[in-house]
Amino acid sequence: MPDIKITPLGAGQDVGRSCILLSMGGKNIMLDCGMHMGYNDERRFPDFSYICPDGPLSPYIDAVIISHFHLDHCGALPYMSEMVGYTGPIYMTHPTKAIAPILLEDMRKVSVEKKGEQNFFTSQMIKDCMKKVVAVTLHQSVMVDNEIEIKAYYAGHVLGAAMFWVRVGSQSIVYTGDYNMTPDRHLGAAWIDKCRPDLLISESTYATTIRDSKRCRERDFLKKIHECVDIGGKVLIPVFALGRAQELCILLETYWDRMNLKAPVYFALGLTEKANNYYKMFITWTNQKIRKTFVQRNMFDFKHIKPFDRQYIDNPGPMVVFATPGMLHAGLSLQIFKKWAPSENNMIIMPGFCVQGTVGHKILNGAKRVEFENRQVVEVKMSVEYMSFSAHADAKGIMQLIQYCEPRNVMLVHGEAEKMEFLKEKIQQEFNLKCYNPANGETAVIQTPVKIPIDVALPLLKAEAKKFSALPPDPKRRRTLHGVLVMKEGGVCMMEVEEACKEAGIERHIVRFTSTVQINDAGPCLSTAHKLHAYVAEKLPQWSVHFSEGEISVESVLVKVEGDDDDQKSVYVSWTNQDEDLGSFVLNALNAVGK
Amino acid sequence: MKLYCLSNDPNKPCHILTFREITMMLDCGLSMQSVLNFLPLPFVPSQKLQNLPTWMPIDVTDPELDGELKENGERVFVDSPPEFCPPLDKLIDFAQVDVILISNYLCMMALPFITEGTGFQGRVYATEPTLQIGRLLLEELVIYIEQCPKASFASQWKNFLHKLPYPLSDSFKPKSWKQIFNMQSVNSSLSRIQMVGYNEKIDVYGALQVVPASSGYCLGSANWVITSDHEKIVYLSGSSTLTTHPRPMDHNSIKNADVLIMTDLTQTPISNPDSMLGVLCVVVGMTLRGGGNVLIPCYPTGVVYDLFECLSVKMQELGVSNCPMFFVSPVADMSLAYSNILAEWLSSAKQNKVYVPDELFPHAMLVKNSKLKHFKHIYSDGFSTDFQEPCVVFCGHPCLRYGDIVHFIELWGNNPRNCIVFTEPDFDYIDALAPYQPLQMKVAHCAIDTSLNFTQANKLIRDLKPATLVVPECYTQPPVSAPHLTEYTIEAGGDRTLIPYKWGEVINLPLKRKQGQVFIETAVAQKIVPVEIKSGVSLSTITGTLQVKDNVYNIQDSNDKLKKYVKYEWGTLNVNEFIQKLSHEGINDAKVETHGSVVVVHLQDEDALIQLEDNSTHVVCSGDEKVRTKLRNAVMQCLKKF
Ligand SMILES: [Zn+2]
């Protein structure tokens, strides 16, 4: 049996640094190439030495596929392609191709210019890396080479996020990247057809959560902000530049409008306008409602939300600030946090997942003091709220996706080990599917059935269909196709035996056997024949046993009765060698009667 | 495989293709030539049109015909809401159509006639721009006609066709003409469309696969590749090899077809779009500098985007950039906005702008700078304040029978400084202008048709190498206007079959399926034992349980014990060798008799005989299986098998 091998280099029983090696049909494909936000050392990037201890990866990898622009899915891409070395194609959607380089450059600046990291990729490397990118459109079938075919499906999550179906020969997988199964204020829900892959590799960030309704969460979020600004507090919402930020802005904008609130709302991203421009240009990737109304009103032109200036940090009075990055691990959001954390009037709302090692992760786990590299200590007195707005599928969503695409096996990645175990069991129970969750560096081997396409001569199919439809309908009856494969230089074709012999230029040699059994049964031959017919038919329930002009036949086996009306009858059983098993079975059955 | 032709206009095609029991409609274009026989529809009653004299055939006094026909300068027009010639519905019941494939937004205007109220149950496939822009064109058409309701409908004239003057007398099947559909039909019809992307493989009931491939003609335009396991049919419609704003034509996908159906070639075979664009720029420059206005009848999408881009640059050069451009259409705002979000469907030069990010078309900038102003109607808010002469007005409809253009002709027609420039190739400009004559304004004809001309089409055919080429009959003859120009035809050539077709015909296409496809499972494949019969040819039997689901054939391992490893014997049996093998089995009493070509071996003790011929062996014995098994072994050892 052929198999599919999967080795996570990142995201195996882990969140962050998604990078999964897929090997099937002799082809190797890298699914995502992310970085870990929680580390500043070599653990930040996937361990590419697993693929090849030294030197470029190009000889070992046929294609790289990037699911979306989040850095935990594409952050290591310039490092991989320009520093480790990869010259092959990189596939991603058009919005991802547009937005990923901006986020990479942003991250590079923070790492190199602020943190002073060495041996990081350069701006030029990001540009060179993006030159290797082939942009794909949803549902378009793309042939990477003669054997690898890929197709992108809508994943929701963030602008341009896609799930990828990958096929090599008769084997196929679906890799989800991050996705969400419920539409939000600016994106639609993930969608896939019944593509029945051999393996579905799904993220499982929220494997054990079944989240309450979106509306409730939104109401909660707005209530908390409203209460905080009412008492003059400042609200910090760390976000990533693109994605959740746009959804929360739409939410706040409409609420401020409706409640006629005056407290200022700031969006502290240098990218704001650029980001919203991308949303405008890729409006076809947003949800139905936004697409329908975009000509009259651009959802991303905000009336209440103003650009932020660093000087505002110390302004008195209430305000709400959206600041990057989302996990509070660097940059402006961290700077504001340091200033505002010591006041209990203030509030921080973490609208997404934070990986281990980040400040966001620490305060979400209740840390009341946060220590920084330069021995600076910040007391956390502000209230810390977590609101899961990350657009990831929850347990229900993951189960739904399995139902949609009907995979033969499931693999969970991008989640925490214990939570995965829980969901894994659930999947095995509910769908009776094998479910895998390999750790980083561990290889899962998935056996797949093969289906080999071969050509078949139409007369063969037609003869079978004619025979089948001539019989009375019986849902239990099996249809049998029998023929001869002719294998020539020009190809392989299945056909009727006579045709095959003609093709090969040979003459068949028919071998026929006729055996005689003596049976004692008085009366006319025809009555004996009738009795034998009933007897043979009973012995061969799966076969159609015919009776015509005193002769019994099943396939090429013929049974004939001869003799006078006295006791003794000669029963001739005759068959060709092709029906040897059937013929000798009938003969033995008749011998048993004769004795 | 059969092809039905339901449209008499190769540029507004509509076909039915039947293959593998699937009935497929290829495009559903709506020919609008019929509307030229009707009087224009002004918003406000026009003195001139109202005062046209009534026309009656000389010897007819039928009072019901009275008032239906009006005369203007030798031409007779029907005074009634315009009517359209829908695809022929006599050859096929639209309820039977399984799938409709749409090539581009100009080839779908008859869709509501096909899908609404006909019992149609099938699926409709089109790309996203085709659906979105097609919707704009349909909306515009319906609004144009509905905003000028007419009190009466003329129908009697259709009974007197033979007594009417040309060209009315030549009307094509006027009794089948229909009033335009309403918005409700449009919406309901469009809601049936499933959006597809280029190179997206769409399964049609398991029997066929259809894939749209970029055709380079307009935003989202596609050629369709229809394949079964072994056959490839390409439907080529509205294609262009020129570089304008759409994604370039995908040649690779449409190569080496068994059948290539080619339609919708250029309507202006003799002129070249580039030089026409040059003439247009000169005419616009001269008119504006002379203080006149330029009126450009157009559709609200397509070449008009290139015209905005080109003219704005040219007007700058000519020093008339202070003259504004007006774009008046009920869907102008939508059209401009949509064109700037369809990056994935544009040429790579335009596409790369999203990575900046920059607006895809310069018209977004022109709108921002107020160089291009768009309005839904001339009576829309702000138009009269913004309106300033001299100017350039882009406005529909190109047939000049409805839309705001009717008003502009009335407004500007009497001033010889003004100029009307025809760029859309769909309508003959003399016919289009006929009800307005006499006119003082200048008339320029610069039809820009970017679709394939005959030279390009013939070259393309040579590259694509189809086995059979199917084209409208008119493409096999020189244009009626220039019968000596035989190069304006599709060449028959090489070993390819050329099949012409015309309206109302059903033609058989030479595609006999000889092979199908089955999928075999591992367990079945493992039992294949190839036997080399001669160098390069191997045979093996194969048997399994057949499963047929959605036209896909699977062979699974059969657990039938009595018919599992069937093999076939071949060649001839050597008698001496056979006798030897018998003695190996302990049978030594063989007596051989020869009767002509038949050899009979008698075995007295075993009560058996074996009859040997060149291509057959018959073993006759008692019911004793031990004996028979020995004989069978001996026979099998002497024969080759696979
Ligand atoms: Zn993500």
In chain B, CATH 3.30.310 covers 569-641
> Are residues A47 and A116 located together in one domain of the fold?
yes
Distance from CA of A52 to the nearest CA of B (A): 33
Say yes or no for a CB contact (<8 Å) between A449 and B522: yes
Separation of CA A537 from chain center = 51
Residue B398 has pLDDT above 90, yes or no: yes
**What is the CATH code for B569-641?**
3.30.310
User: Which CATH number is B2-267+451-508's, of 2.50.20.10, 3.60.15.10, 3.30.450.30, 3.20.20.70?
Assistant: 3.60.15.10
Asked whether residue A101 falls in the same domain as residue A186, the answer is yes
Q: Which of A32, A2, A4, A1 is nearest to A18 (CA)?
A: A32
Q: How far is B359 from chain A (nearest CA, A)?
A: 8
| CB contact at 8 A, B15 and B5 | yes
The residues of A assigned a catalytic role are: 203
Region(s) of chain B under CATH 3.60.15.10: 2-267+451-508
pLDDT tens digits along B589-637: 888 999 888 999 998 888 899 999 989 999 999 888 888 999 999 999 9
In chain B, what is the greatest distance between 2 CA atoms, to the nearest angstrom? 122
- Residue of chain B minimizing CA distance to A93: B344
Sheet (strand A3-10) strand order: A133-136, A90-93, A63-65, A27-31, A19-24, A3-10, A444-447
Residue B561 pLDDT greater than 70, yes or no: no
Residue A211 is predicted with a pLDDT of 60
Sign of CA dihedral A403, A404, A407, A411: negative
Question: 3-class DSSP state for residue B436?
Answer: helix
Q: Which of A504, A524, A545 is the last residue of a domain?
A: A504
| Residues B490-518, mean pLDDT to the nearest whole number | 87
Q: Least CA distance to B615: which residue of chain A?
A: A509
Q: Chain B interface, mutation test: which of A129, A141, A509, A591, most B Cβ atoms within 10 Å?
A: A509
A225 and A191 co-located in one domain: no
Is the Cβ pair A294, B357 closer than 8 Å? no
A381 and A405 belong to one structural domain: no
Considering the domain architecture, whether residues A441 and A475 belong to the same structural domain is answered as no
- Whether the bond between B45 and the residue before it is cis, its omega within 30 degrees of 0, is no
pLDDT per residue as tens digits for the range A194-252: 999 999 999 998 777 666 566 777 888 899 999 999 999 999 999 877 767 877 888 89
- Are the Cβ atoms of B198 and A590 closer than 8 angstroms? no
The answer to whether A591 contacts B625, with C-beta atoms less than 8 Å apart, is: yes
Per-residue pLDDT tens over the stretch B124-158: 999 999 999 999 999 999 999 999 988 888 989 99
> Taking CB atoms and an 8 Å limit, are A282 and B341 in contact across chains?
yes
Judged on CB neighbours under 10 Å (0-12, 13-18, 19+), B398 is: buried
- Identify the closest residue of chain B to A97 by CA–CA distance: B355
CB B301 within 8 A of CB B348: no
> Any chain B CB within 8 A of the CB of A542?
yes
Name A498's Cβ contacts closer than 8 Å, sequence gap at least 6: A508
SS3 content of chain A, % helix, strand, coil (to 5): 35, 25, 40
CATH number at residue A546: 3.30.530.50
For B151, the token pair is: 């009190």
| Number of structural domains chain A divides into | 4
Between the alpha carbon of residue A240 and those of residues A111, A334, A493, B491, the distances in Å are 16, 13, 57, 61
Cα distance from A470 to chain B (closest Cα, Å)?
16
**Residue A156 and residue A12 share a domain:** yes
CB A589 within 8 A of CB A575: no
Domain range for A473 is 455-504
* CA-based nearest residue to B509, from B16, B103, B29, B124: B16
Res B373: pLDDT: 96
- Which tokens is A359 given? 């400040």
**B181 Cα distance to chain centroid:** 22
Burial class for B549, CB neighbours closer than 10 Å (0-12, 13-18, 19+): exposed
Where does chain B hold its CATH 3.40.50.10890 domain(s)? 273-445
pLDDT for A85: 95
* Ranges of chain A with pLDDT below 70: 1, 114-115, 209-214, 243, 269-273, 298, 389-391, 475, 595
Q: Are residues A418 and A483 in the same domain?
A: no
Q: HEC states along A508-562?
A: ECEEEEEEEEEEECCCCHHHHHHHHHHHHHHHCCCCCCEEECCEEEECCEEEEEE
Contact A214, A401 (CB under 8 A): no
Q: Which residue has the higher pLDDT, A478 or B251?
A: B251
Closest CB to B337 among A142, A295, A449: A295
- Specify the DSSP element, H or E, that contains B171: none
Q: What is the pLDDT of residues B185-221, one digit of tens each?
A: 999 999 999 999 999 999 999 889 999 999 999 999 9
Instruction: Collect all residues of chain A within an 8 Å Cβ-Cβ radius of residue B563.
Output: 480, 482, 555, 579, 581-582
Of B520, B540, B554, the CB nearest to A484: B540
Output the pLDDT for position B354. Answer: 84
**Residue to test with chain A: of B336, B512, B562, most A Cβ within 10 A:** B562
Residues 6+ apart with CB under 8 A from B267: B11, B425, B426, B447, B449, B451
Is the peptide bond between B251 and the residue preceding it cis, with omega within 30 degrees of 0? no
Angle (CA) B76 B77 B82, round 5°: 160
SS (H, E, C) B221-238: CEEEEEECCCCEEEEECC
Please report which helix (H) or strand (E) contains residue A396, including its range: helix A395-405
CATH number of the domain encompassing residue A289:
3.40.50.10890
For position B330, what pLDDT does the model report? 96
- For chain B, give the percent of residues with pLDDT over 90: 67
B198 vs A contacts (CB less than 8 Å): 137, 140
CA of A104 to the centre of ligand 1 (A): 14
Locate the chain A residue with the closest alpha carbon to B529.
A485
pLDDT value of residue A575: 94
Choose among B517, B537, B563: nearest Cβ to A488: B537
Mutate: best of B539, B574, B635, partner A, most A CBs <10 A: B539
| CATH number reported for the structural domain that contains residue A438 in this entry | 3.60.15.10
Q: Which of A504, A522, A542 is the last residue of a domain?
A: A504
Q: What is the model's pLDDT at position B622?
A: 85
Q: Which of residues 416-455 of A touch B (CB under 8 A)?
A: 449-455
Cα B29 to ligand 1 centre (Å): 44
CATH architecture of residue range(s) B273-445: 3-Layer(aba) Sandwich (3.40)
Same domain assignment for residues A68 and A193: yes
Gap from A392 CA to chain B (nearest CA, Å): 26
Q: Which residues of A touch B519 (CB under 8 A)?
A: 170, 451-454
The model's pTM is 0.84
Mean pLDDT of chain A, nearest integer: 88
The number of CA neighbours under 13 Å toward the Cβ of B266 is: 25
Residues A594, B520: C-beta atoms closer than 8 Å:
no
**Do A320 and A249 share a domain, yes or no?**
yes
Tokens of B22: 């699937």
| A135, A480, A487 member nearest B543 (Cβ) | A480
Check: CB of residue B226 under 8 Å from CB of residue B233. Answer: yes
Q: What pLDDT, on a 0 to 100 scale, did the predictor assign at position A390?
A: 65
> How far does CA B594 lie from the centroid of its chain?
71
Q: Is there a single domain that holds both residue A352 and residue A229?
A: yes
CA distances from A375 to A327, A369, A370, A371, A378 (A): 20, 12, 10, 6, 10
Q: Are residues A343 and A360 in the same domain?
A: yes
The continuous run of DSSP H or E covering A305 comes out as: strand A305-307
